[in-house]
Every structure is written in structure tokens, then in C-alpha cells.
Structure 1
Amino acid sequence: MGSCKENEPQMKCAWVLGPIIVGAGPSGLAVAACLSQHGVPSVLLEKSDCIASLWQYRTYDRLMLHLPKHFCELPLLGFPEDFPEYPSRQQFISYIESYAARFSIKPRFRQWVKTAEFDSSCGLWRVRTQDIEYFSRWLIVATGENAEPVIPEISGIDKFRGPVMHSSDYKSGADFQNQKVLVVGCGNSGMEVSLDLVSHHAVPHMVVRSTVHVLPREMFGLSTFGIAMALLKWLPLRLVDKFLLLASNIIIGNTDRLGLRRPKTGPIELKNATGKTPVLDVGALSEIKAGKIKVMEGVREITRTGAKFVNGQEKEFDSIILATGYKSNVPSWLKSSDFFTEQGMPKTPFPNGWKGENGLYSVGFTRRGILGTSSDAVKIAKDIAAQWRPIKDVNSTCNTHIILLGKP
């Protein structure tokens, strides 16, 4: 591979003394903060115009953390004491902004990474955005599991006369008052969007496309997740899963009767194996039992005015919301690396999926939320700090005049 001057005469080149971090969400901020504690500079590239853009632009107004706040803290800084047990969307954004300010993290915004590739001829990562090519010994992939919305292929959806949107564009049920809305998906987003629609006098019909575990957010006055984490320190995973399911049946009843069939694999085992998160109920189940949220079987076809379902029913709808989740976008820009699968997840499972070859790292791909992110961020920073030494002769490495970024 030639010098960037040869490849792109109009493109600027930038040497980064420390690692390049791609993605300024919670994962990217966490690893940048941990690196700074070791005295290692970094450059954080973000395609959007703000930190945590998924939280700022792609979340609905009523969203709250599903887990208690102490399970959602980034390394080195906890939530403010006056925050509630389950912070709101805006409170979490406030915490993230305070975190970036506390550790003087200043991402380079509107830097959309087109390609990132290891150049074996000079032992550096070449990360190209729309106008700059960055060079570094280390590359940290922090774009996460939820980089892009998943848009399923549903027969006839292009014929529907009403609005169709992904839940990432949904803000409030106020926009759907008195409408019949088809919500495709029954995960945490599908459940909460449906609940929000009911609170704004809409009539949601929620499509259950597969089996799903629904658990109460709290059991016996304690966080369900917290109970599970405590039990896992002493008991086998499958025994903990059996306890969760037994307690759930006592507290919320048999969800199969509501059209929400449980998988054969337990909730924690399934989450660890596939990343499929159990639904933590915050009120949707009671609305399903009351008949205000209609549970529907899979969609066979979308029509001009509504949908046909696999059980033969046909109904009319005013709008369609796709609560169909997110996916990694790593395969679209990370080149010449077999560290990630075709789905954009590390091939090596947690807890060892944070480090690849040639100075490649990943953070935020553990399928264990912010707890997993924090664990990986600490490991990555420690590993890079052990290798850290500023390179003095920059220009000789790439045979061209370049911008120097980062301070040792």
C-alpha cells in the first residue's frame, strides 16, 4: 500500500500518537477515559455531531434504563446520587455528557469511517474518513452491537399507504392518537412502544414473530437483574434460570396464554448465547391482559390498507412501526480482518473477545450491556498502556508530511 499522498492527493493525513477509537457512544467514551487514566492519548472518531448519538437521536421519549443505575455505570465515574434507581433517557444523556467533560474527551465529530485496514508494510492501521486518512498502531472498534436499525423484508410493505417507520425514529405516541398501529416486534422496544401508544389512546397490535422471555423488572422489591447477578456467584446458570422462570410465573403468570411463548432455553443462557435480551416488563403485560395491546401472530403480507397474518386474519392499520432491533455495521468498513463474524460480532466470545491481532481491539460487543463494556474498556486500556511509547519520527513512517494528533 502506497503513501496516502500517492493514493489521495487531496486527502489530509493524520498520525495519531495513541489509538484510534471508532464510535463515541458509551463504549468509545469508556475506553477513552480508561486510556487517559494511564496517560495514553487517543483520537475518537464519530460520524454524528454529538456523543451517544443513538441515545440522543434514536430513542423514544419515555425510555428509562431497564436495569438499576449501578449496573449501568461507566468506569471511573458513577451516576449522581440524586438520580433515581432507573434513570430516564435524558438523565442518562446528562450522565454521558458529564462523563465526557470529566475526562476531557473531545471526539472528532462528523468523521464517517469509510474503511479501516491494517497496512503490514508499515505496521499501522489506516483509517479513512470522508476527508482524512488517520494512521495509528492501534484501532479500537467501539461502534457496538446497535449501530444500525434492522429493517426486515416483509412482503408488500412498499404498498402500504400509511407511514412506516423503525422504532429508532419513534418519539412519542402523541403522533398516533386514535390510530390503529401495527408494531412488528415484541422485544423491550416493541413492548414499550406499544405501552406508550396505549397511554396516548392509540390501539397497538403487537406482532410476536418468535418466542420471547418476559420477566418482571423487579421481584420481591429487588431488581430481577440484580437478583440474577447475585445468584450467579453461587449457583449454576441453569439453576438461576429455573428460579427466574418459577418466580416470573408466580408474579406475572403464564405468558404463553397471552401469546408470548417462552423459548426452551432459559433467559440468561439465551442472552449469553445469542444476545437476545429478555423483556423486563414495565407495564405492557397488564395492558395485554386488559386487551388494550393486541398480540398478533406473524405477518404474512402487508397490504395497501393493513396486514394479513399467518393465522388467516386480516386487519386494517393507519401506521406501521418496526420494533425489529439493531445490528453491527463493522463488516461494512473494517477490511482484511477475520476477527469479526459476518454479523459484525467478535468470533471469540466474552470474556476474551476484546483483543485481536495487530493492535485491533473491540469494546461494546459482549452482549452484556454496559457491564461488559466497562470490563472490556479497562482491559483494553491496561493492555495498550503496557505497549505505550510515543513514536518520535512520524514522517519517515509514511513517507509524507502529516498532521500530528494527540499529546503524549
Structure 2
Amino acid sequence: MVGAGPSGIAVSACLNKLDIKNVVLEKEDCCAYLWKKKTYDRLHLHLSKEFCSLPFMPHATSSPKYLPKIEFIQYLDGYVEHFNIKPKFQNCVELAFYNNDKKKWNVKSRHVASGEMEWYACDFLILSTQKNNEGYIPKVVGIENFNGEIIHSSDYKFGEKYKDKKVLVVGLGNSGMEIAFDLSNYGCHTSIVVRSPIHVLTREMVHIGMVLLKYLPLSLVDIVIVKIAKFKFGNLAEFGIPQPEKGPFSVKISKGTSPVIDVGAIVKIKLEEIKHYSSIFFDDGTLMNKFPNHWKGENGIYYAGFSKKGIAGISIDSITIVDDIKAVRGDKI
């Protein structure tokens, strides 16, 4: 297994429960590296905790409905300990190929510190590095002439160092929205680039929608949530934030794009405390296979955490993958 983030540890836990031997290779020095070292301080889970647990370990009843970063990290560490997951840290996978003659995957890893190489032969290979493993900064014409600081959102912690400075946030996704809000609160002259149509909701709206989806058709839930959002925020297109033609949950299912959770930035945009601009930047990247078959490739290779459905998607992926491995191995359920 490649990667010891939430996806990797979830699959490993499912395998451990069945006493199926597995090795987790992680190039960093800890589990959930992105959560621990590449997220901003004010981060909270955008879905309520019942939708954000990994397999076989719900969140404590005493924990808050929307977990802050530090509590979710504690949950992940507790998960690793509870299921006796022991990743091999600082092992970077450099090569993997399928040997048709032996019907095995061959994987070469290199220890980051010592440079020592190690080979593994396995029946199944699970990639759990997820799509946001590496920060991407697009190439922009003329950017080489910019003398200021350029950072990816994964390197942002809080806005104090940017007080009284002009800061442009590219992208009004969840990270962009919250970082822009944080910067503005620290007294920065904040602007944001709105790259494409988005749905803006609150955490409570998303929770209502998730509950309604258990009982009502997707199209009807979309209509209800869009009307609630419009009542709350008004017509955001008037403020340079266009809305997609499809509803928020339809967009999530068809494109994997989550609605943006407002933490207070919309009021600041309306008051022009945060200025907005249009943009020509576009994201790239596709799944190995399209949803809902994204989790499985050929010859025993699997992809955990690529569904773009957050922690809930990770949980579903891990159980689905291990169920398939059981079927291939002929294990009793």
C-alpha cells in the first residue's frame, strides 16, 4: 500500500481486521502528513462528524459536530493505534510494475534518509496517495516578473505575517474561501480570483442535504438546498460568483466538486472587504477510471481515496477494496 493518509490507514485497518498481511509505505515521517503539516490553523471538517469517520470507528459522542483540525488529527492517530497499523515511514515508492509471468506486483521503495532500496512482491497494490497529495501552482505568463511571495494553500498557516499587505488568493474553493476570510481578519488587503461557477452553502445546509438524500430524490434535494442558499445569500452572481446550472449535490456526484462552505467571507465580499476578480486558470487531472469504478484497475491494483467524496468516500473505498480482495482471495466473509 502506498500512502499512510486517511485512505491508506482505512484500507490497512480493514485488512488487519481480516488478518490479511499488508505493508504501508509512506514517504513522510508520520501518518496523515497533509493533515498534520500542510493545513491551515483554522481548518474544520465541513461535514458533520457522522459523515467523517473511517471504517469501524465512529467519532466520540462528546466530540464537536464539526471537528477542528487538531481533534481530527487526534482521531486519526487513535485510529492507527487501535487497529495496530505500522507504516514504514520515509519510504518513497519509485517504481511499480506488474510481472505477468509471476502474476505479482513488484514495488521498489527508497528510504529517504539512508537511500537504501527495498523490493516488495505482492498480489495486490493499493495506491492511497489521493489527488491533492502535491500542491500545484499553475504557470502564469509574466509570473517571473512578480517580486512578491508565491505560496500554495498547503503552506499557509495563518495571516498575521501578511497584515497590511496586498494578497491575491487564486481560486474560490473551500481553501481559498477560508484563507481569504482569515487574511481579511488579519487586516490584509485581500482579493480573490473566482475561476469558475460554484455553489456556496453553509455547513448546516450541507448537513440538511445529506440527511434529505436518504429520503428524497437527488434532483429535489438540489432544488431545496439551492432555494435555501439563495434565501441566505441572495443572488451571488451580482457579486461576481456565478452558480453552476446543476445543483450542488449533482455537481458533487458528476464532477467531484464540493460546494464551497461559507465561514463569513461572503459578507466581506459583499462589503468589498474582500475584492473579487474573474480568471482564466483551470484545474486539470482525472481519475484512473470514472466514478463509481474509480477504485479498481487491472491486475490487482486499487485506488483508495480518489472518489472526491471526502472522508465518507474514503470509508466506502476502503471497505469496497477489501471486500474485492476477499473475493479474489476466496476468503470467507
Residue number in structure 2 paired with 1:312: none
Instruction: Report whether the alignment pairs 1:90 with 2:90.
Output: no
Structure 2 letter corresponding to 1:228:
G
Structure 2 letter corresponding to 1:135:
A
2:8 to 2, 23, 28: 28
Structure label with greater radius of gyration: 1
RMSD: 1.9
> 1: CA distance between counterparts of 2:109 and 2:161?
37
| Structure 1 residues 110 and 215: CA distance shift in structure 2, 3 A | same
Matches within 5 A, 1:196-235: 196-218=182-204, 224-235=205-216
Offset, 1:119: 0.7
Matched-pair contact (CA < 8 Å) for 1:35–1:385:
no
Matched-pair contact (CA < 8 Å) for 1:73–1:370:
yes
Residue number in structure 1 paired with 2:149: 163
Number of aligned residue pairs: give it.
Answer: 325
Structure 2 letter corresponding to 1:253:
G
2:323 to 382, 388, 391: 382
Offset, 1:152: 1.3
Matches within 5 A, 1:99-138: 99-130=79-110, 131-138=117-124
Offset, 1:365: 1.1
Structure 2 letter corresponding to 1:121:
D
Residue number in structure 1 paired with 2:20: 40
Offset, 1:58: 1.1
Corresponding residue SS for 2:96: strand
Offset, 1:142: 0.8
Matched-pair contact (CA < 8 Å) for 2:197–2:243:
yes
Residue number in structure 1 paired with 2:314: 373
| Structure 1 residues 178 and 27: CA distance shift in structure 2, 3 A | same
> 1: CA distance between counterparts of 2:294 and 2:274?
40
Residue number in structure 2 paired with 1:289: 270
Corresponding residue SS for 1:113: strand
Corresponding residue SS for 1:205: strand
| Structure 1 residues 389 and 49: CA distance shift in structure 2, 3 A | farther
Matched-pair contact (CA < 8 Å) for 2:169–2:180:
yes
Residue number in structure 1 paired with 2:114: none
Instruction: Report whether the alignment pairs 1:260 with 2:202.
Output: no
Structure 2 letter corresponding to 1:276:
T
Query: Higher helix fraction: Structure 1 or Structure 2?
Result: 2
**Structure 1: tracts of 5 or more residues without a match:** 1-20, 219-223, 301-323, 328-342, 391-408
Q: Deviations over 1:167-196 (max 9, x none)?
A: 111111011111110111111111100010
Corresponding residue SS for 2:66: coil
Q: Deviations over 1:377-404 (max 9, x none)?
A: 11222232344489xxxxxxxxxxxxxx
Residue number in structure 2 paired with 1:152: 138
Matched-pair contact (CA < 8 Å) for 2:159–2:186:
yes
> 1: CA distance between counterparts of 2:93 and 2:254?
30
Percent same amino acid at aligned positions? 43
Structure 2 letter corresponding to 1:40:
I
Matched-pair contact (CA < 8 Å) for 1:216–1:251:
no
Offset, 1:86: 0.9
Offset, 1:147: 1.4
> 1: CA distance between counterparts of 2:129 and 2:20?
21
Residue number in structure 2 paired with 1:238: 219
* Larger relative contact order (Cα-Cα within 8 Å, sequence gap ≥ 6): 1
Q: Deviations over 1:61-84 (max 9, x none)?
A: 111111111111001112222221
Matched-pair contact (CA < 8 Å) for 1:40–1:385:
no
Greater mean deviation of Cα atoms: 374-383 or 157-166? 374-383
Corresponding residue SS for 1:210: coil
**TM-score normalised by length of structure 1:** 0.76
> 1: CA distance between counterparts of 2:169 and 2:197?
16
Matched-pair contact (CA < 8 Å) for 2:289–2:297:
no
1:345 to 277, 281, 287: 287
